[in-house]
Amino acid sequence: PDHYRQWSGSMHAYAGVDPVFRAMEAKGQAETGGALGDFCVQCHAPLAHRLGLARTAADLDDLPAHLGGVTCAFCHQVDAVEGSHNNPLRLALDGVMRGPFADPRPNPAHPSAYSPLHDRQELVSSDLCGTCHDIVNGDGVHLERTYAEWQASLYSSDDPLQQNTCGRCHMPGRNGVAADRPGVPLRRVHDHGMAGVDVALTDFPEREAQRAAVQRLLDGALVSELCVVERQGGAEVELYLENIASGHAFPSGATLDRRVWVELTADAAGERVYQSGVVPDGTPLRSLDDPDLWAPGSRGFDENGNETHDFWDVARLESDLLPAPTTLDPLAPDYVNVHVPRRYRIPSAAPLERIDSRVRLRPMGLDVLDDLIGLGLLDPAIRDAMPTFTLGATALTWTREAAELRISPLSGREALCVPRL
């Protein structure tokens, strides 16, 4: 079975040794005079925390590797969920490993039992995942809302045709054996790499497999549509993004630190006449002077109204995220339009010939890393390792030949649009 190999290259395994986590936690402890306490470790090294062996990240240095990160023994001994955020998971600590099989085969390593919390086909399984992926700081600010976003979406519906769980997306299944034991039957086993958007930035197992899994998820998360309404002296370009398959808002998680943006360029008469969101390699997104930049994400503000990305200082959060669908019925009171538009006005004496657009993502902003590097808490090599992903289904090229005539949903005028429907 591949479970351990997959987990060994996961962000769960990386959680306790991640240098960005270590640097940010050290900054938080210093700036709060230690008041940050176990806020980070309770999710980044939960078993060590529950056993009373770690209160801060520095405590992890003295512990054996099997107590670092989010481990097999922690997740598979959860027997109840007692809240909605900041890891309120109850551990049985009885040595029984819980999982999705109703008839687990006996083995000499540990007793086994079925648990709906560990069965990705059960809606309740998202409660186990979600409570560490929903974070509220000491001021009551809901910093990370992945679980809450899922709960508000149609994916948490009782309708089996609409519902989807965390595990169905992040732990895809295949037929295989779950243990190296005689007589173990072929079952549906699930990927324990548990990819999201974050990646290991140091030498770590399974790095290429991890990045490939992240790319696969991103390639199917959003779709886009590009329409051009021609006007005298230029054109209006309407770009639509639709969050069709992320299962929650996009971006999600640590949206204070995520960097997502639209790159759009336009050419006429063989020359570049417009660009927005063109970010050179190694350049922080938020250093751009770009009034048209479309960058879904969040910004935090302290009690004095000053912008901050330090979560322990955030007293208010402003978010502009791409929402998940809440219902398929446009007449329902909780309906949310997930077909989100943005208009670009492009002056050009010549007719536009080509427009290219795509959505790009950095799991963490280079400006955030620069702050930690400047404090001497992070190796500059970590910055160089931060990837920039392109979301495959959002990459569009508009030309007159490729477009079809439609009525623009934004302006109600005739427009030339791609992709063709």
- For residue 304, give the DSSP letter: T
Which residue's entry shows tokens 């939960």? 46
3-state secondary structure of 48: helix
In 26-54, which positions are buried (b, 16+ CB within 10 angstroms) versus exposed (e)? bbbbeeeeeebeebbbbbbbbbbbbeebb
Rounded distance between C-alpha atoms, residue 342 and residue 360, angstroms: 16
Domain boundaries, the chain: 3-16+69-205, 220-418
Query: With contact defined as beta carbons under 8 Å apart, do 30 and 16 qualify?
Result: no
Q: Per the structure block, which two tokens stand in for 297?
A: 């994400």
Phi, psi of 45 (to 5 degrees): -145, 65
Divide the 421 residues of the chain into consecutive groups of 10 and give the mean pLDDT of each group. 91 97 98 98 97 96 91 96 96 96 90 96 96 95 98 94 95 88 87 97 96 97 96 94 96 98 97 98 97 98 98 98 95 94 96 97 98 98 98 97 93 91 68
pLDDT of residue 182: 82
pTM for the whole thing? 0.95
CA angle 23, 29, 34 (to 5 degrees): 160
Cα 413 to chain center, whole Å? 36
Could you tell me which of 342, 335, 7 has the C-alpha nearest to residue 194? 7
| Cβ neighbours of 407 (radius 10 Å) | 11
Q: Per the structure block, which two tokens stand in for 67?
A: 């107590």
DSSP 86-127: S--EEE--SSPEEES-SSPPP-SS--EEE-GGG-TTSTTHHH
Query: With contact defined as beta carbons under 8 Å apart, do 118 and 98 qualify?
Result: yes
Q: Is 303 exposed, middle or buried (0-12, 13-18, 19+ CB in 10 A)?
A: exposed
pLDDT of residue 1: 67
Which contacts of 49-58 are long-range, i.e. CB under 8 A and separated by 24 or more positions?
Answer: 50/74, 50/91, 56/25, 56/29, 57/16, 57/21, 57/22, 57/25, 57/26, 58/26
Rounded distance between C-alpha atoms, residue 40 and residue 32, angstroms: 13
Q: Per the structure block, which two tokens stand in for 169?
A: 């997306």
Rounded distance between C-alpha atoms, residue 364 and residue 382, angstroms: 11
